[in-house]
Amino acid sequence: MAETTIPYAGNSLIADLAPGSLITQDGQMQWAGLLIGPGTPFAVDKSGLTGWEDLPEYDSSDADRPTSHGAWPGSRYAKPRKIGGTIVLVPEHGDAPGTVRALRQALALLDEERWLAVRLHGETLAVRARIAQRVVPADQGFATQGSSRVSAQWLAADPRRYGVNEQVSTTTPPQPEAGITWPLTWPLDWGEAKSTGDAVVENTGSAPTHPVITFRGPCSMPSVTERVSRRRLRYAIDLAAGDELTVDTRAGTVTLNNSASRLHTAMADSTPEELFVLDPGRTDLSFRPEDGTEQSLMTVRWRSAEW
């Protein structure tokens, strides 16, 4: 099996690379710019990972019944996910210093989250995480050969695991049909609408996921409605041609042209951004600005999510 080349220099090991971009086979995991597993000096112990396939811990708002058995079921919200494992250092002959240095750089304390991706059975899932713990026993093997069994733990503030491929769906506002053509001929042709203004998105996972929705002008009062739950996002703003209003439902932000906040433009009938989620399965979204043209556009970006 060919060895995998790992960049040890500079800050490439903590670069926020695309999730799973270095992974080539099952059993490998990628933390930021570091590849771990078969074909690298960083082998995963046979005990594997803890906390990866487990359901995360959760808080519950269940309320005990004061005059009866049991409780009223309430909402449940998952806590951050803890992922742990043992990495076995197996540096090549003469490369112990480089291997140890790479480990230090990659498993460092950082304020910002990075992608942690794992491939199992041909499926790669990823979380945004930070290093929570690094334990490196400085025993005889480490001192003489650089070999050791390193315990590492990551903490993912968002416990959901995401597909590595971001999906995109776009639509323009509804456009009228061309109408019937005269003189009449059989069969009658009423024409077809250029756009229905609807977008279909599918979350193939088991957990709800937060989309990023971008409205592009020219249009006024852009809005999107989920056709089953009737959840809606609607903003009292006029967008000129080329303007983009980006709604990050996970972060709860609304920004104009990636700079100025426009959260205050949300209408009274608009759902709080963080509650606008795509449930597992198919979701039908309707783009209905108050005034728009064929150049107006709604773009929905999302990743399928798993517990």
Distance CA 249, CA 253 (A): 7
Question: What local confidence, expressed as pLDDT, does residue 7 receive?
Answer: 42
Question: What local confidence, expressed as pLDDT, does residue 190 receive?
Answer: 52
Looking at the chain, the number of H-run helices and the number of E-run strands are: 2, 26
Q: Which of 66, 82, 86, 305 is nearest to 202 (CA)?
A: 305
Question: What local confidence, expressed as pLDDT, does residue 6 receive?
Answer: 43
Mean pLDDT estimate for the chain: 89
Question: What local confidence, expressed as pLDDT, does residue 186 receive?
Answer: 65
- C-beta separation of 159 from 127 below 8 A: yes
- What structural domains and CATH numbers belong to the chain? 12-163 (2.40.30.200), 167-306 (2.60.120.860)
**Residue partners of 230: CB distance under 8 A and separation at least 6:** none
For the question of whether the overall pTM of this predicted structure is more than 0.75, the answer is: yes
pLDDT tens readout for residues 61-96: 999 999 999 999 999 999 999 999 999 988 887 778
- All residue ranges of the chain with pLDDT < 70 are 1-11, 176-194
Cβ-in-10-Å burial (0-12, 13-18, 19+) of 180 comes to exposed
Question: What local confidence, expressed as pLDDT, does residue 199 receive?
Answer: 93
Q: Which of 201, 174, 197, 302 is nearest to 248 (CA)?
A: 302
Query: What are the distances in angstroms from CA 23 to CA 3, 36, 119, 206?
Result: 13, 9, 7, 24
pLDDT tens readout for residues 195-233: 788 999 999 999 999 999 999 999 999 999 999 999 999
